[in-house]
Structure 1
Amino acid sequence: MKRLLIILHDLSAGGAEKMMARLAGALVDAGNDVTLLMLTGGGVNVALVDPRVKQVELRSARSASAVPALASFLRQNHFDAQLAALTHVNVVAIAAAALSGTLARLHVSERNAFSRDKHVNSSLRVRLAYWLAPLLYRLIPNPVICVSRGVAQDLVETTVARTQDVTIADNPVLDNDFRDKPPGCPTHRWLQEKTSPVIVAVGRLAPQKGFDTLIEAFARLPVRNARLIIFGEGALRDDLLAQAARLSVADRFDLPGYADDPMAQVAAADCFVLSSRFEGSPNALVEALSTGTPVVSTRCPYGPQDILEDGAVAPLVSVDDPQALAQAIGIELAQPRGRHRQTRIDAAARFMSSRAVQTYLAALLGRQSS
């Protein structure tokens, strides 16, 4: 049994936090002793943490101020491997590991397209972290774990990081028995009593997710009775509602906020759409495939091309092209819903926890673990 530590800012509603919570449980299933440490603490994804995973909250006011407390924790507790996630947390973890003499056991991970993600947050501290991180990645002894080949390639091509500074591990998106689990019951009224085709999307209401392009595409659909639901919250809520009103689709569009079980909604929908401008490895796309529901995705950097096998599993369209997106959605709605269902489910199976955790163990411990 190996003692493993996962370091996060908190367990808020982001995809990285959700995947780290799932990874912690999968590592326990693989026979390891796992601690999940939060620099601050709390968040809605706490509910996803396996009760066998130990939780530690440093309760720092911000990530940067957690360095002394984290260094002290690392000195007092011996772990066989330490894994940090997200760029600003990586920088904090590298500093703390250097101070505590545990740098040889530290691994950091990048979850998104670095060249795009660094422009999302204008905070001076965050910008400094993004400037500093690639320099540190060249110096630390272990390669950066990237969630997809595209994320790794982007880090190498757009920063000072070298090919030998990166490695790849798949996200543990799905339970091992996902094929046998019936979907939950949808909670949205349009999905409970469906009277017309329903399109569903899931994600933060942020520019990265391209929901403005999706609404524009929705307005162009020839299927005039179709409905669109986007599950999620974020700063663009009012903008998206205003856009729907301008395009005269407000009566067929809804932003109900977060869903406790978003995949129950997707499983009941007629089409799932990923309209993102960039990603790392979009977990929602994998989850949607696992339900068998038809999907359409942008060919955004990075992840969808790999997950959808360059369009062999489901349609890929150009980023920010509402006409192409509308056409692809329209084609999917016109076909029998069960067409190619098994192909979609089989494509999702690569991201089962039991498979993905082995790629992490190989990266963290330098070998495959049974």
Structure 2
Amino acid sequence: MKKLLIILHDLGAGGAEKMMMRLAGALVEAGNDVTLLMLTGGGVYAAQLDPRVKQVALHSPRSAAAVLPLAGFLRRNHFDAHLAALTHVNVIAIAAALLSGTLARMHVSERNAFSRDKHVNPALPVRLAYLLAPLLYRLIPNPVICVSRGVAQDLVDTTLARPRDVTVADNPVLDSDFRDTPPGPPSHPWLLEKTSPVIVAVGRLARQKGFDTLIDAFARLADRSTRLIIFGEGSLRAELLEHATALGVAERCDLPGYASDPLAQIAAADCFVLSSRFEGSPNALVEALSTGTPVVSTRCPYGPQDILDDGAVAPLVDIEDPAALAQAITLELALPRALHRQRRLDAAARFISGRAVNTYLAALLGRPAS
């Protein structure tokens, strides 16, 4: 049994938080002693965390203020390996490891396309974190764990990081028995009592996710009975609703907020669409594949090309091309739903938790679970 520590800002409704929550549970299931430490605390995924995972919250008023408390925690508690996730948390964790003399056990994880993600949040502390991170990644003894080959290559191509400074580990998106576990019932009324085709998308209402392009594509569909549901929260809600109104599709487009069980919604839909401008390794796309529902994705950097085998599993279209996106959606809606279903399930199986656990243990400890 190994003692492992995962360091996050909190367990809020983000893809990285969800994956670290799932990884913690999978590591415990594999026989390890796991602690999940949050710089602040709380979040929607806290209730879903495996009860065998120990939780620690530093309740720091801001991320930067957590360096000294985290250093003290690392000094008082011995772990075989530490894993931090998200760039600003990585910088704090590295600083704390330096102060506590535990740098040899510190590992960090990049979850998104670094060269693009660094422009998303203009706040000064976040900008400083993105400036410092590449230098620290080159100096720390352990390679940065990236969620896809594209994320790793982007880090090498656009920062000081060298090929030996990065490694790749797939996300633990699915339970190992996902094929045998039927999804629950959907909660959205358009999916509960379906009277017309329904397209579903899931993600933060942010520019990265390209939902403006999706609404543009939706407005181009010839079948005016088709409906679109975008599950998620974010700052662009009002702007997206105004966009749908301007295009005359607001009555067929719904933004109901965060979905507690997105798999149930996707499984009941006729098509899932990933319209992102960039990603790291889109978990929602893998989840959609696991339901067998037809999918369409942009060929965004990074992840979809790898997950969808360069279009062999499902259609890929260029980013910010609503005409191509509309054409691909129309084709998928016209095809028999069961067509290529097994191909989609097989593509999703790469991301089961059991496989990811061994990959992470190899990265963290230099060898798989014993």
* TM-score, length-scaled by structure 2: 0.99
* Correspondence for 2:333: 333
CA offset at residue 70 of structure 1? 0.3
Instruction: Please list every run of at least 4 consecutive aligned residues from structure 1 whose deviation after the TM superposition is greater than 3 angstroms.
Output: none
* Correspondence for 1:269: 269
Tell me, yes or no, if structure 1 residue 11 matches structure 2 residue 11. Answer: yes
- Structure 1 residues 61-89: Cα deviation after superposition (integer angstroms, max 9, x where no partner): 11111011000000000000000000000
* Correspondence for 2:237: 237
SS at match of 1:145: strand
Where structure 2 has 5 or more consecutive residues not aligned to the other structure, the ranges are none
Counterpart amino acid of 1:26? A
CA offset at residue 251 of structure 1? 1.1
* Correspondence for 2:217: 217
- Structure 1 residues 33-56: Cα deviation after superposition (integer angstroms, max 9, x where no partner): 000000011111102210000000
Equivalent-residue separation in structure 1 for 2:21 and 2:368 (angstroms): 21
SS at match of 1:279: coil
Counterpart amino acid of 2:256? P
Counterpart amino acid of 1:166? V
- Structure 1 residues 183-218: Cα deviation after superposition (integer angstroms, max 9, x where no partner): 110011110111100000000000000000000000
5 Å matches for 1:10-89?
10-89=10-89
* TM-score, length-scaled by structure 1: 0.99
CA offset at residue 332 of structure 1? 0.2
* Correspondence for 2:260: 260
Counterpart amino acid of 1:305? Q
CA offset at residue 223 of structure 1? 1.6
* Correspondence for 2:176: 176
Counterpart amino acid of 2:316? L
SS at match of 2:272: strand
Equivalent-residue separation in structure 2 for 1:203 and 1:60 (angstroms): 27
Equivalent-residue separation in structure 2 for 1:177 and 1:51 (angstroms): 20
Equivalent-residue separation in structure 2 for 1:363 and 1:197 (angstroms): 44
- Structure 1 residues 140-173: Cα deviation after superposition (integer angstroms, max 9, x where no partner): 0000000000000000000001100000000000
Equivalent-residue separation in structure 1 for 2:359 and 2:169 (angstroms): 5
CA offset at residue 222 of structure 1? 1.4
SS at match of 2:217: helix
Percent identical residues? 81
5 Å matches for 1:128-207?
128-207=128-207
CA offset at residue 368 of structure 1? 1.7
- Structure 1 residues 1-59: Cα deviation after superposition (integer angstroms, max 9, x where no partner): 00000000011001000000000000001110000000011111102210000000000
Equivalent-residue separation in structure 2 for 1:69 and 1:105 (angstroms): 18
* Correspondence for 2:115: 115
Counterpart amino acid of 1:322? P
Counterpart amino acid of 2:7? I
Equivalent-residue separation in structure 1 for 2:107 and 2:272 (angstroms): 34
Equivalent-residue separation in structure 2 for 1:64 and 1:248 (angstroms): 45
* Correspondence for 1:91: 91
- Structure 1 residues 287-339: Cα deviation after superposition (integer angstroms, max 9, x where no partner): 00000000000000000000000000000000000000000000000011111
Tell me, yes or no, if structure 1 residue 298 matches structure 2 residue 298. Answer: yes
* Correspondence for 2:343: 343
CA offset at residue 259 of structure 1? 1.0
SS at match of 1:55: strand
